[in-house]
Chains A and B, each alone.
Chain A
C-alpha cells in the first residue's frame, strides 16, 4: 500500500531533550516536506527536500533540522525542544516538483514539550 509513515504518533518530552521524528514513504517520491499544524494557523511548512541531499527552509524552520540521506526517509530533528514546539506535525511527499502535484500526508505526530 502506498503510504507515508511517521513515528512516533504521540510523544511527550521535556525541554532540551533531543528527539527525532521519522518519516518514510514507499512511493519513490522526490519531494518531501514537514509541516506543523497549530489551531487557527492551518499548516505551515518547516523544511522541504527536492531530492536526496537537497533540503531547504520553509516558513518556520527555527529550532528544527532535517536530513535526506535516502530518497524514502526524511527525519525531523529537534536538537533542544522548547514548549513552543508543542504541535501536530505532518510529513508529506509528492512525485516531483510541480505545483499541480498532489502531496500525500502521513498520519501525524502529536508532540508535547513540557
Chain B
C-alpha cells in the first residue's frame, strides 16, 4: 500500500536559518503530493501541493519539488521565522488507492523556531 515517511522531529532552529524537512513516499499509482501545516490548537491547512512529477509547489516562502526518480517531496524554506513554528505533515493522495481520494500522512515533524 501507499506510505509516507518524513523526517523525525522535533526540529529546532534559530530565526533566519535554512529549513529542510525530508519526505519520501511509496505509491503504486501516480499520486499528488501535499504539505499540510498544523499551528497550535488548530486544524490542518494546506501549505503547498504538486500533482505531477517535476512540479514545484510554493507558498509563504516554502517550496517542495515532486521528484519521481527519488520518490521525494522535501520541504524547504530559505529563512524561517518564529511564526513558522508548527507541525508539518507530508501527505499523498492517489485515486487508485481503493478507488477514492484518501490522504496518506507521514507522522508529522514538529518545528520550533527560536528568536
Identify the stretch in A38-46, A66-74, A79-87 within 8 Å (CB) of chain B at 4 or more residues.
A38-46
Identify the stretch in B11-19, B77-85, B95-103 within 8 Å (CB) of chain A at 4 or more residues.
B95-103
Q: Are A42 and B108 in contact (CB under 8 A)?
A: yes
> Which B residues lie within 8 Å of A50 (CB)?
100
In the bound complex, CA of A94 to CA of B44 (Å): 13
Question: How extensive is the interface on chain B, given as a class?
Answer: 20 to 34
Interface residue B51 (Cβ < 8 Å from any Cβ of A) = yes
CB-CB contacts below 8 Å: A84-114 with B: 90, 92, 94, 97-108
In the bound complex, CA of A43 to CA of B107 (Å): 7
Q: Are A42 and B89 in contact (CB under 8 A)?
A: yes
Interface residue B93 (Cβ < 8 Å from any Cβ of A) = yes
Interface residue A62 (Cβ < 8 Å from any Cβ of B) = no
Q: Are A105 and B43 in contact (CB under 8 A)?
A: yes
| Closest Cβ neighbor of A4 among chain B residues | B43
Residues of B within 8 A of A (CB): 4, 31-32, 34, 36, 41-46, 49, 51, 89, 93-95, 98, 100-103, 105-108
What are 18 A-to-B residue pairs whose CB atoms are below 8 Å? A33-B102, A33-B103, A42-B108, A45-B103, A48-B102, A50-B100, A90-B43, A92-B103, A97-B101, A99-B31, A99-B32, A99-B101, A100-B51, A101-B93, A103-B103, A105-B43, A105-B44, A107-B41
